[in-house]
A = this chain, B = another copy of it.
């Protein structure tokens, strides 16, 4: 059997636009049968804290777009970022990594993170995954 295609994302942003970009790419990849490896660092890492994704909004430069965007998402019955993450998980093709240096920098403990996190690792682990990926992006 041929190896699966692989998407590797470093999710550095924690705003609603960046989370949707990461999760739309991730969902699309897993629905195509690709593996998706998402490594959360900096503001992305803080979005993995329990309740963190629910607090994510648009960057202040785009704040005026948040209300119409949320209304459109509701009308489209679009899933929230956390719902997207949980759906992707059911594919068995998604792996979520939390960046350990970011956890130290922001005093985040393992028990603070949502249970969907698979591994807490440093950049070396991710670079090896990224080197074997078909598409690799920093979001």
Residue numbers of A with Cβ under 8 A of B are 5, 7, 10, 12, 15, 17-18, 20-21, 24-25, 28-29, 31-32, 34, 41-43, 59-62, 65, 68-69, 72-73, 76, 78, 101, 104-107, 122-124, 127, 130-131, 134-139
Contact = CB atoms under 8 A, between A and B. Distances in A.
A124 B34 CA distance: 11
Contact of A73 (B105, B124, B131): B105
Nearest to A72: B105
A31 B123 CA distance: 11
Given A21-B138, A131-B135, A137-B138, 8 more contacts: A10-B137, A17-B43, A25-B127, A69-B106, A72-B106, A73-B105, A137-B137, A138-B138
